[in-house]
A and B are shown apart, each in its own frame.
Chain A
Amino acid sequence: MLDTIVGLLASTVIAATPLALGAYCGIFCERSGVVNIGIEGMMLTAACISQIVAQYSGDLRLALLTGILTGGILAFIHAVISIRFKAEQIISGTVINILAVGLTGHLYQRYLAFSASPPQSPGTFPKVPIPLLQDIPILGPIFFQHQPIVYAMLILTFLTHFILFYTPWGLRTRAVGEHPRAADTVGINVYRVRYINVTLAGLIAGLAGCWFTLEWVGTFNLQMTSGKGFIALAAMIFGKWSPFGSFAAAVIFGFANALQINFQLNMPNIPYQFLTMAPYLLTMIVLAGVIGRAIPPAADGQPYEKG
């Protein structure tokens, strides 16, 4: 029994990884005042390109690096469109999402589809159990016997919190997101803070994308992110734009996901569709009952016009 629960919680952490990473990407963007609904597209593109690099170079680490950079590049484009050209950020994010569908479809057909006879996939990152920590009863198997991106997610949870709330950079970021005019007055370069935050956030989305191919499946499928980028945004709002809150939301979502997979295996009498929809239903219920109104950073989504 205990083993089952521990196993369930370990797969919860795995399932929560792309959601939490996506949420941290959202946090950095939105805390600095830039809405990013393009996370889904950034993850999808990073997943695709990292897999192409993995298969053609056979080097998973190079693939990881390219995937992360892909996210950063797309985010930089989002930043240029919404900061330099002051386009509406929802539009810019939608552009990234549609672009991702087209770009990955195109690249998939050209480099990964059966007809392109691509080199074999080198598979996924191996598990890296952490010495000593992995032997802790219960906590060890839940947190310390995973693949590398899961650890990266766990570390980023604390890192994001630390950066946002305990460093001058974090203070500047939040100032720019809440009241850019005031931040500008005290000499903070609003545009620079936004550019850097959005681009760095894109690297995190790229990492989340790599999780799909390099850690989870080992191959790329069209549309394989299947809305996880949006669910990550839900986790971010759910967690009220805070790293720990978003992590908790991602874990709840991941738990519902792990639980339904477990149920599907053990209780074939319940139609699987109801189990698959459970995490989504749960999100709505928790959102309605527990969290209530979520208030975004005050300047979220507004282009800044230097006065």
Chain B
Amino acid sequence: MARRLLTGIGIPILALFSALLLGSFVILSTGGGWDKVLTAYGAVVYGAFLKPRGFSETLLAMTPLILTGLAVALAFKAGLFNIGGEGQFLIGSLCSVWIGYHLTGLPGIVLVPLGLIAGMLGGAFWAAIAGYLKSRLGSHEVINTIMLNYIAFNLGDFLVNSRGPMNDPTSSVPRSPMIALSAHLPRLNPGSPSDRLHAGVIIALLATAVIWWLLYKTTLGFELRTTGANPDAARYAGMNARRNLVLAMALSGSLAGLAGAVEVQGLNFNVPAAVQSFSAGYGFDAIAVALLGHNHPFGVVPGAFLFGAMRTGADLLQLRTGVSRYVISIIQALVLLFAAAPAIVRWIYRIRAERRVEEAPLTRGWGA
């Protein structure tokens, strides 16, 4: 038991350590010695946790990663691969911003949840298209969610860019109008105006609990997991595979859409015409976060925290050492590699494998 616990915590720590070690060779390759490596990692830690408001910014960066990570994890659990997080995020943010600047007369207690729900519905609808096409016509969700990403980028660009129907003509940068003040998510530390942390982080943590409950404590969750683990068994047991498929995609999309709505209502208050940089990289990062957390809702949170901290600390890394912030992406990739393929870590450190426990795979490739 003690040994299992040791490898249970030990392997992720060794994974992180190995990634940092390999990353330090990249930093060394830019010239300078090990003191530069220490300065670099020190800067990341300082930037992400210690500097004033650093920790707030880390939590801020973690919030959309939790929600999009949950979206990917939920889909994986149901045997689906949702690469369309970015598109669903964007559609969600567009729906939320529309509500936020149209229904300005409503009080905050109505408008805030209305915007969030609109975002969820938007994301759910966008993902459900792929789910529906798969369930009815068998066309593959991996392709369709990718295609829907690009369609969403162009749609968003059309809507909020100059002369578009959702463009704010008074703004010098092309973007949507600002949402009403009453649509803003409350700040968690209103005393300090530069602390941008908002209630979105609480929403993300609540969503984690809800998704855990849904997956592990409800009939629907059981059906989704069964469909994901063994579609044939699910069918023989009389579960409605088609309905579950569309539902799983819609639920997954609603989480990504919620992430978009939270970004709009908590942080950005508008959607810029540079839509692709707005939803920047949440597609990739969400997949990584979900896999880091082994697709378990409670695993997604630490994964998102780690990636959020790295994203936040990266700026100071570049500022202090001149090493490009992209080194962080390299380290993130290595963390994912070592964490998701423990066999490599075991091989490096000569740790004997435990007796094999039959584990359901995290992903099922293109699976039929």
Which residues of A does B touch, CB under 8 Å?
35, 81, 85-92, 94-99, 101-106, 108-110, 227, 230-231, 233-234, 237-238, 271, 273-274, 276-277, 280-281, 283-284, 287-289, 291-296, 300-302
Contact = CB atoms under 8 A, between A and B. Distances in A.
A26 to B, nearest CB: 10
A110 B30 contact: yes
A279 to B, nearest CB: 8
B333 to A, nearest CB: 4
A101 B225 CA distance: 33
A287 B142 CA distance: 12
B83 interface: yes
Interface string B342-368: 011001000000000000011111111
B288 A276 contact: no
Nearest to B292: A91
B140 interface: yes
23 contacts: A35-B365, A81-B344, A85-B343, A87-B340, A88-B363, A91-B336, A98-B284, A98-B333, A99-B333, A102-B326, A102-B327, A102-B328, A110-B30, A227-B150, A234-B147, A237-B143, A271-B164, A273-B154, A292-B138, A292-B139, A293-B138, A294-B138, A294-B139
Contacts of A274: 154, 158
Contacts of B330: 99, 102-103, 106
A273 B150 contact: no
Contacts of B365: 35, 89-90, 296, 300-302
Contacts of A90: 81, 362-363, 365
Nearest to B367: A301
Contacts of A106: 26, 324, 326-327, 330
A101 B284 contact: yes
Given A231-B146, A280-B147, A94 B288 contact: yes
Interface string B49-76: 0000000000000000000000000000
Interface in B132-168: 133, 137-140, 142-144, 146-151, 154-155, 157-158, 161, 164
B341 interface: yes
B140 A237 contact: yes
B166 to A, nearest CB: 12
Interface residues of B, number: 56
Contact of A234 (B26, B143, B340, B367): B143
The SS class assigned to the A binding surface is: helix
B329 A102 contact: yes
Nearest to B318: A109
A87 B138 contact: no
Given A85-B343, A90-B81, A106-B330, A283 B140 contact: no
A85 B344 contact: yes
Contacts of B114: none
A230 B148 CA distance: 12
List 10 tightest A-B contacts by C-beta distance, closest first.
A301-B365, A102-B329, A105-B326, A293-B138, A87-B341, A102-B330, A273-B158, A99-B333, A277-B154, A98-B333
A75 to B, nearest CB: 15
A287 B140 contact: yes
Contacts of B287: 94
A62 to B, nearest CB: 21
Given A102-B333, A273-B157, A284 B147 contact: yes
A288 B137 contact: yes
B174 to A, nearest CB: 13
Contact of B326 (A85, A103, A280, A292): A103
A289 B144 CA distance: 13
Nearest to A99: B333
A281 B326 contact: no
Contacts of A301: 363-367
Contact of B146 (A91, A234, A281): A234
A233 B81 CA distance: 14
A88 B149 CA distance: 24
B281 interface: yes
Contacts of A271: 158, 164
